[in-house]
Chains A and B, each alone.
Chain A
């Protein structure tokens, strides 16, 4: 309980400092955000109108406080380019990015689990060598390039999946998931490779323990030992990695969305950068940071719950 409280305080402090940093970098350091957003040829009165709209006549601290207290209640401000509530825009995009990240995480686990178990149970055998070889390539492939190859083969050549775009969830989950499948595979591959390696080495560590020898000595088959005893204990580091990967997937989705023209947070942030919509940029960045910090927090708690030695 005390551990959880301590971590919660650390989480709040991290988020607060992060928000100051984001705000400072985007709105204070470059000088006049209004002039920046409007570009070089803006008329002076347009700039001053935007200045008062953004509240730039007030101190940086007052603006930061307003921004962050708004975010806490779900009010992210208004996009300068689109003239709509940023929270609505973000919500429209989250329903693409979040399912994509979850889909990719599930795929990564589904691929990595059998691969890791196969490699560990046939150590130095053909299966192990093959899995380790694949994982080496898996971590070396840039996921956006892999995505392009997937499009070439499965969307253009065989036409099994759409090559890009997103039909929305209103037309049925099947079409939506179909549109997310290639992006999810591209995102999942490197993570699956990492996960398979972690699972393999964690299983090998566990299989070398005394209680495994005891289990074998009392007549349990290698297969039963692996499934009943080793796997459960080997899962602790694997779960941690799975949790941490979620934030990588969320960030990785930003790039993959660009390959498939998916209307997710990634597309939103790049559109905002090119239209110099700083308010959108800082809000989406803060949202991503929030997601990473919260996931890390949950992983910390889960880890401590599984392994009491870590509750310091």
Chain B
């Protein structure tokens, strides 16, 4: 059962990545080419997944859209890791002190803003776009990684190898980077997978309401928004982008579960 889930996860994530990479060099059709006579075709030999209301090939759009999803989610995870991990390490190294308190209060503050609300704020002022979506989701990721890092680092500080490093005369900064951080990598990899899948969902939601990637860059969320009025006429236009999101998120979640089982032996007990 667990093996099947792992295999499905790896397969789906590989499919997502291959689709995105392939779209860099080849797509069945040009996604910017409008062919109104071919509009709203149902799936067939010429267009495997049919065409949309502008006659664009849905499979090609999904392939390029995968790139948008992956890049937004990946950079958002990068922002979360880049800011959250140092904050968490800092908080743990000065545990109980004012740094810890300040970092944790900062976390509370960011937690008060759901990703969508951050995105709304940013786009209300700076306009919608993929970059602003990345920043919004990234900011949301910061406290997630900060909390995780702090919690795990706190558990490591009293351990003997850290004490040994202290006796050797290393400062908190060096200990954090050289001894604590490497021991957190598994945990961070697992959490990154989870945040990556949440990022894909968030990007889809943002571009659905018009706050994400702007035309002509294809994005799954906007494909869904555009399909909404066509859903009775041509359900396939709405179904395939949605399936693409579900399949990607499902794959990443299954992969995340598998990685957790593999990388964190403490959790392999019956759950």
Give chain A's interface residues, CB within 8 Å of chain B: 10, 13-15, 17-18, 21-22, 25-26, 29-30, 36, 123, 129, 136-137, 139-142, 144-145, 148-149, 151-152, 156, 201, 204, 247-248, 251-252, 254-255, 258-259, 269-270, 272-273, 278, 281, 285, 288-289, 292-293, 296
A145 touches B245 (CB 8 A): yes
A259 to B205, CA, bound (A): 11
Query: A169 CA to B36 CA in the complex, in Å?
Result: 44
Contact B205 A142 (CB under 8 A): yes
Which residue on chain A has the smallest CB distance to residue B204? A142
Name the B residues within 8 Å of A259 (CB-CB).
228
- Cβ-based interface call for B25 (8 A): no
Is the CB–CB distance between B113 and A14 below 8 Å?
no
Tell me which residues across on chain A come within 8 A of B210, comparing CB atoms. Answer: 270
Could you pull out 21 A-B pairs where Cβ atoms are within 8 angstroms? Answer: A18-B109, A22-B121, A26-B121, A30-B126, A36-B125, A129-B1, A136-B254, A139-B253, A141-B242, A141-B246, A142-B245, A145-B224, A145-B245, A148-B224, A251-B117, A269-B120, A273-B123, A278-B125, A285-B120, A292-B114, A296-B112
The chain B residue sitting closest to A254, CB to CB, is B116
Number of A-B residue pairs having CB atoms within 8 Å of each other in the complex: 123
Complex Cα gap A25–B123 (Å): 11
Main secondary structure on B side of the interface with A: helix
Instruction: Given A13-B105, A14-B108, A148-B238, check contact A201 B271 (CB 8 Å).
Output: yes
The digit string for B215-233, where 1 denotes a CB below 8 A from any CB of A, is 0000001001001100110
A126 to B: closest C-beta gap in Å:
12
Q: Is B235 an interface residue (CB 8 A)?
A: yes
A182 CB to nearest chain B CB (Å): 14
> Restricting to B111-137, which residues have a CB under 8 Å from any CB of A?
111-114, 116-117, 120-126
B contact residues vs A (CB 8 Å cutoff): 1, 105, 108-109, 111-114, 116-117, 120-126, 197, 201, 204-205, 208-210, 221, 224, 227-228, 231-232, 235, 238, 241-242, 245-246, 249-250, 253-254, 270-271
A15-B112, A129-B1 are known contacts; what are 18 more A-B pairs with Cβ within 8 Å?
A: A10-B105, A14-B105, A21-B109, A140-B197, A140-B201, A141-B245, A142-B204, A142-B221, A145-B224, A204-B271, A247-B114, A251-B117, A255-B208, A272-B124, A278-B124, A281-B120, A288-B117, A292-B111
Q: Which of B111, B126, B205, B250 contacts A137 (CB 8 A)?
A: B250
- For B201, the closest partner residue in chain A by CB is A142
Contact B205 A156 (CB under 8 A): no
Contact: B124 with A26, CB < 8 Å? yes
| Contact present for B249 and A140 (CB under 8 Å) | yes
8 Å CB contact of A152 from B111, B124, B232, B245: B232
* CB-defined contacts of B112 to chain A, threshold 8 Å: 14-15, 18, 289, 292-293, 296
Measured CA separation A248–B111 after assembly (Å):
11
- Distance (Å) between the CB of A36 and the closest chain B CB? 8
CB distance from B182 to the nearest CB of A (A): 29
Pair B209/A285 contact, Cβ less than 8 Å = no
Q: A30-B126, A137-B250, A255-B209 are in contact. Are A285 and B117 (CB under 8 A)?
A: yes
